[in-house]
Homo-oligomer: A and B are copies of this chain.
Amino acid sequence: MTKVTSISGFPEWLPEEKLFEERLIAQIRSLYESFGYTPIETPAVELIATLASKGVVEKEIYSVRRLRGEAGEEAEWGLHFDLTVPLARYVAQHAHNLTFPFRRYQVQKVWRGDRPQRGRFREFYQFDIDVIARQDLPLTADAEVVTLIDQAVSLFELGDHQLRMNSRKLLEGFYQALSLSDAQTKGAIVAVDKLDKIGVEGVRGELLKIDGLAGQQAERILELAALRANPEEFFDRVSSLQVTGERFAAGCEEIEAVLALLPKITRDRTVIDFSLARGLDYYSGIIVEVVVPGQPQFGTVAGGGRYDNLASEFGGEALPGVGMSIGLTRLMDLIFSSKLKPLTQKCPTELFVTVLGDDQRIACNEVAAQLRKVGLNVEVSLKSPKLGKQIEYAEAKGIRFVLFLDPSANTLRVKDLVTKVQTEVADLHAAVKLVSSAG
């Protein structure tokens, strides 16, 4: 006999949780498609050579090989650890079959050989959008992606969220103006990125460890990182910094341009956060993170930004892009464990059709078929035991409405298991109306 155990770090939802997740995935899909983003899907595995090229921590890669493969055979394949590397390979491979700018969304599981802990998983869903262009991509794309992620996060109903925005060019221009070298700039970005985790003192320590970086430079870097600005304050704030230089100016301009292109509701949720760095190497322009101030335990809900060349390691022309990612599984786990949503619905059924006796089953099936045609999700009792048992089953599954059909008496009754009100209805049309109006 085999023991039944969960594998640590590989979450598995109960039906009521999975139903909730599926509904959200469907809503996000539909939102992204309403902006013309097309779904793609890549295999779970990539060549190890492809995965390793992005400079990921190799020990986080899971390799895949046949259980009874040749002895000593080297693993050639690994499970993808994000959706950006597969996207880069996909675009490079299929470029001649794609139309650019290429707007795509992708919702798939990714795998990381991380030590499992609360909110950190080894298998989890990412939900990504990206726009990829050939040669050049206007800032209209950045604005569109930020608008979309704002609307996507709203679907989770976590309370008011905030879009933290910054620009890599602005950061780098500021560091250049302080005479930091390229290497020192990279180090400073990595250090500042840790502000939320290790605090000002921690970041100061990290900065001072950077080779050749002076105390005065570190203080100026920390000063910038302490700044915040609403969209309408942004111009004054950066002016008061009195920084000159092309790169810094370009960074300010791109933030101004993107802010101007956002719908008002999205712009009102945006804060320019000069501490935002995002550790990943490949960002080159606008960077964004979404947080929920009222739910600090959620941390960063979504994040992304602009990059110069998606598929640089595959050669070929420059493919600039901008993208954002939602860590779906982490969010689900936080929502479920904090009981933020009442999960009463354990199945998609809206109406449960009771069956008084086996001789009435065909009639019940036909009624159910008619109700499904007008869009209701309808379950017919598989058994015809006592009515009480059938209602118990519906209640246990969180089905709100039960239909009692008596073909001999030619009556139809609908019971609302929440309000306990039972209504005799004239026909199926009236039954549908009753169920649909309950929302």
Residues of A whose CB lies within 8 Å of any CB of B are: 1-7, 10-15, 18-19, 22, 26, 33-50, 53, 58-68, 75, 77-79, 89-90, 92-94, 97-99, 101, 103-104, 109, 111, 113, 123, 131, 133, 137-138, 140-141, 144, 261, 263, 313-315, 346-349, 352, 361-362, 365-366, 369, 372, 375-380, 382-383, 393, 396-397, 399
Contacts and interface: CB of A to CB of B under 8 A. Distances in A.
B67 A36 contact: no
Task: Tell me how many chains of this kind the complex includes.
Answer: 2
A42 B13 CA distance: 8
20 contacts: A2-B314, A7-B45, A7-B46, A14-B98, A15-B38, A15-B40, A22-B39, A34-B376, A34-B377, A36-B347, A36-B377, A37-B347, A37-B348, A59-B67, A62-B65, A63-B65, A64-B111, A67-B113, A261-B361, A263-B369
Contacts of A40: 13, 15, 18
B58 A68 contact: yes
A26 B22 CA distance: 11
B346 A34 contact: no
B314 A372 contact: no
Contact of A123 (B35, B43, B62, B75): B43
Given A44-B123, A361-B261, A378-B34, A39 B59 contact: no
Given A14-B94, A18-B40, A2 B123 contact: no
A24 to B, nearest CB: 12
Given A10-B45, A62-B64, A138-B383, 8 more contacts: A11-B43, A15-B38, A36-B349, A36-B352, A44-B111, A48-B67, A67-B113, A140-B382
